[in-house]
Structure 1
Amino acid sequence: MPDVDEDGPLVRGIVCSRGHFNPPDARFCERCGISTVQQTHNVITGHRPPLGVLVLDDGSVHALIRDYVIGRDPGAADDVRDGRATALVLEDPDLSLSRVHARLVLDGWDVRVEDAGSVNGTYVADPGSEEWRRLEADVPTTIPAGSRLRMGARTMTFESHHKL
């Protein structure tokens, strides 16, 4: 039986010889580093492990186990009220954030960010880049580990050992 988070959603993946659950295209186990090339690559359904963490500019860390709605008052969002997402309240003394500013959506093994129609926009800087690009409202954008997000005056970084 794979060594996985029994609370994570069900996704397709492969198990290394040491029992760690990985994305179906993993060449190396993302937990122990062992090669999966010699495995038969039997794809199975299992509970997805956390996909990484969101590290905020104030040093707080939020595990990416489920979807987040981010903003000054994200509890107002339907997906938070009905339990499909977790509210991530950001302090915003300058009022540069919308009440419901953005969503972080976990889809299979991918992490996506989506601007929720905010007034001041949601920006992404790719890993290693200093250039910010504004996201189009309501269009999910897959982000790789190392991506930085800017919402109003707040910034955060998506960190993960997963190849995303």
Structure 2
Amino acid sequence: MDRVAELEEQAAEIAAAVGRLLAERGLTLAVAESLTGGKLANQFAAAKGSGEWFAGGVVTYQTMSKHRVLNVPEGPVISEEAVRSMAQGVTAMFDADVGVAASGAGGPEGQEGQAPGTTWLAASVSGTTRTQLRHFSGEPLEILAQTQLYSLRLLHSLLAAA
């Protein structure tokens, strides 16, 4: 199995675990994605019982989309402030209890002066938002798979602690 497939398999397992926690607690989830282009939403949609807890998601790939759709403040979108706004914005948009967001430079080129693989992640659970800066390596598909996996890990850890 190649590295991307391994990462995606791990992500599916964590998405399922997140889904179980959400179902047990009667919570709903919304997703705001940029560089992952729908990979997070795809993982949640494929999880058992997702119709009960997955409210939906948005892919705001272009900078302007983040500003217009999710009310991300003007300025860099590969930033802590941007992903925090994305997670909180999508949670409000879908009237969800939980939100997760990712924004970064997926490669092969950098973006906003950030090297490929520079990624900000955010998870928001009932008003508490946690962010994380990661620097992934590899080809674009590897960076996307790592972003997906670590976003799910961040969300799972925040949910488990809540």
Q: Same fold (TM over 0.5)?
A: no
Q: Larger relative CO (CA 8 A, sep 6+): 1 or 2?
A: 2
Instruction: Say which one has the larger Rg.
Output: 1
Question: Where is the helix percentage greater, Structure 1 or Structure 2?
Answer: 2
